[in-house]
Amino acid sequence: MAIGVSANKLELLQIARAVAAEKMIDEAIVLEAIEEAIQKAARSRYGAELDIHCAIHPKTGEMRLTRRTTVVEEVENDAHELSLDEAKKIQADAEIGTVFEEELPPIEFGRVASQTAKQVITQKVREAERARQYEEYKDRVGEIVNGIVKRVEYGNIIIDLGKAEAIIRRNDSIPRESLQNGDRVRAYIYDVRTEVRGPQIFLSRAHPDFMAALFAQEVPEVYEGIIEIPRVARDPGSRAKIAVISNDSSIDPVGACVGMRGSRVQAVVNELAGEKIDIIPFNPDPATFIVNALQPAEVAKVVLDEEDQRIEVVVPDDQLSLAIGRRGQNVRLASQLTGWSIDILTEVEESERRQKEFSERTATFMEALDVDEVIAQLLATEGFADVQDIAYVDLDEIAVIEGFDDDTATEIQTRAREFLDRQASEQDAKRKEAGVEDAVLEIEGVTLPMAVRFGENEILTVDDVAGLTPDDLRGWYETRDGERIREPGILDGFEIVPQDAEMLIMRARVAAGWISEEDLPQVEEPEAEAEEFSEEEAEAAVDELDLAALEAEAERLGVDLSTLLEEGPDMTNEAGEEAFAGEEDDKEK
């Protein structure tokens, strides 16, 4: 049965209003979709090449169907365009750009046309609905929303938010948590983006910020900003650690988050399917913060490596399993929370390692200096790390070792330098054998051992060195599956700092002609400025001295302060020395 477009104008408007209200979109968008559907049906009736337009009055529902032709200088399309001569026959004052509208009779929708119109209207309404959803939720990223589970598809959960649908993907849900159709659920909006199928709202119950947002709902101090949660680390469904800090010294951040008899933290635990939560006081000092993060394990000692963001933690033997946690969970969460790589050793392991390092240094000194074990151990005990330290240290620092004299110190230092010379000759031979050119050694900052290492890594020319990056020399870190893994660099073991690595490469680029000396980064060295005082300032400084304290000290030493000041600085020094000598005699007695 055919349907006339002029059948019921008010009914058409009522349908448009009902669709707009149901989909929560603008009524004008629905009317525009209907107009487009009628235009498409009219083109199929009168000709697809014609420029046909449909307009529906938003208040009366009156529809007007017209064909448009534009006056142009040179006609290229007869269906859309009209020459100026032809236009003047219709309208005498016509000119280039004039648009003629020819009203067309209403059309009737057959079965096919009705289906086509329905598809066009449905598509336009769906696009408008998606655009509304995106505009509504794009600024709500970081909020917690409530919804009802609509369906579960291959582990992905579709959530009905009332005005829109969202998705919790498999990896964003809490493991072993079973949600059924019709369950009410709270989740965290972490992303809203447009895709081919329309805007997608991505929810998560495993996101670290979901826990922080839950605490903001449960703890008024967090919501008001008095207590901050700077970091969160989670193993969803199992355990989590959060760092808290208070901006008000009178409020305990840990106690406020725990609540009376644990009521506040228990509410969050219940929402997260029983996930255990450790609340850690945040501290700007990395060592203190890491010790706190490893709770409940007790830490005996920590050693920081700030360049590599690495820390070595020593714990008592009975605390090792507690510090590591089940399957490494405790140390892994502590590492994620602090951003540092954590190595855990027991006190026994640390002692064994130190003994091993001491034995290795002793063996090195015995071989390099051709001395017995006792002398090598004495050198290692005094803190000498390698042969180079012995070769170029001040001779007195060796001679002061118990049992050493000047002759022994001279002989040891001579042997150390001879060993380094032999080692340098061997390394130079290795460099030449590897094919590293002499110009590489001329780069400021490159040593012979570095040149040998370059040769082992096929860095043979100045251009090869110039093409490196600081990370190539020092190594870098990559995060894989939540773990921070270090990739070794070419100069691993040389303890080269980032600034030196960058400067070495820049000097190589100067030597290669890639840049000029002016392009080198300027190293600013702080200059010690001598403070100059005027005579008046000096007198004022003297006046500010605590004379009472000076008199008390003079009385203790048995010296007359007024006499000292009258005699002058020389006499003061002599009297002071005599008094000090007398005091030493009293101590001996």
Question: Helix or strand or coil: residue 327?
Answer: helix
For the chain, how far is it from start to end, CA to CA, in angstroms?
130
Q: From its phi and psi, is residue 410 left (phi > 0), alpha (psi between -120 and 50) or beta?
A: alpha
Q: Which residue has the tokens 């040593």?
A: 447
Tokens standing for residue 516: 């000029």
CB neighbour list of residue 221: distance below 8 Å, 6 or more residues apart = 227, 246, 251, 253, 256
Residue type, 173: S
**Number of CB atoms found within 10 A of residue 197's CB:** 7
* Token pair of 343 as six digits: 């190595």
Task: Print pLDDT tens along the chain (589 aa).
Answer: 333 444 466 666 777 777 777 666 677 777 777 777 777 777 777 777 777 777 777 777 677 777 777 888 777 777 777 777 777 777 777 788 778 777 777 776 666 666 676 677 777 777 777 777 787 788 888 899 999 999 888 888 999 888 788 899 988 999 888 888 889 999 999 998 877 776 788 999 999 999 999 999 999 999 999 999 999 999 998 999 999 999 998 999 999 999 898 899 999 999 898 889 999 999 999 899 999 999 888 888 888 888 778 888 888 888 888 888 888 889 999 999 998 888 888 888 888 888 998 898 899 889 888 888 888 888 888 888 888 888 888 888 888 888 888 888 899 999 999 988 888 898 889 888 889 898 988 898 888 889 999 999 999 999 999 999 988 998 888 877 767 788 889 988 888 888 888 899 999 999 888 988 887 776 555 444 444 444 454 444 444 444 445 555 555 555 555 554 454 444 444 444 444 344 444 444 3
Q: How much is the pLDDT for 464?
A: 92
Strand extents, DSSP E, 36-141: 52-56, 63-72, 81-83, 99-103, 108-109
Q: Which domains does the chain have, with CATH numbers?
A: 3-131 (3.30.1480.10), 141-204 (2.40.50.140), 355-519 (1.10.150.20), 543-588 (no CATH)
Give the tokens for residue 188: 């965290």
Buried b (16+ CB within 10 A) or exposed e, 89-114: eeeeebeeebeeeeebeebebeeebb
In the chain, the amino acid numbered 78 is D
DSSP string across 214-269: HHHHH-HHHHTTSEEEEEEEEETTTEEEEEEEESSTTS-HHHHHH-GGGHHHHHHH
Q: Which residues of 516-547 are buried (b: 16+ CB within 10 A; e: fewer)?
A: eeeeeeeeeeeeeeeeeeeeeeeeeeeeeeee
Q: Are 468 and 490 in contact (CB under 8 A)?
A: yes
Is 571:578 a contact under the CB 8 Å cutoff? Answer: no
Q: What is the pLDDT at residue 562?
A: 56
Stretch (H or E) spanning 427: helix 406-434
Distance CA 570, CA 577 (A): 11
Q: What are the distances in angstroms from CA 467 to CA 289, 431, 443, 452, 510? A: 39, 20, 14, 18, 12
The total of other beta-carbon atoms located within 10 Å of residue 127's CB is 14
Q: Is the peptide bond before 296 cis (omega within 30 degrees of 0)?
A: yes
Tokens 């002398």 found at: 375
pLDDT of residue 573: 44
73 near 38, Cβ under 8 Å? no
pLDDT score at 302: 87
Q: How far apart are CA 249 and CA 228, in angstroms?
A: 13
Coil, helix or strand for 105? coil
- The first and second tokens of residue 528, run together, are 């010690």
Nearest-angstrom CA–CA distance, 51 and 66 = 8
pLDDT for the residue 578: 44
301 — alpha (psi -120 to 50), left (phi > 0) or beta? beta
Which candidate, 467, 469, 471, places its Cα nearest to that of 488? Answer: 471
In three state form, how does the secondary structure of 154-223 look? CCEEEEECCCCEEEECHHHCCCCCCCCCCCEEEEEEEEEEEECCEEEEEEECCCHHHHHHHHHHHCHHHH
Question: Among 542, 544, 580, 586, which residue's Cα sits nearest to residue 559?
Answer: 580
Residue 154's Cβ-count burial label (10 Å; 0-12, 13-18, 19+) is exposed
Please, is 570 exposed, middle or buried when counting C-beta atoms within 10 Å of its C-beta (0-12, 13-18, 19+)?
exposed
493 SS3 class: coil
Q: What's residue 570's pLDDT?
A: 46
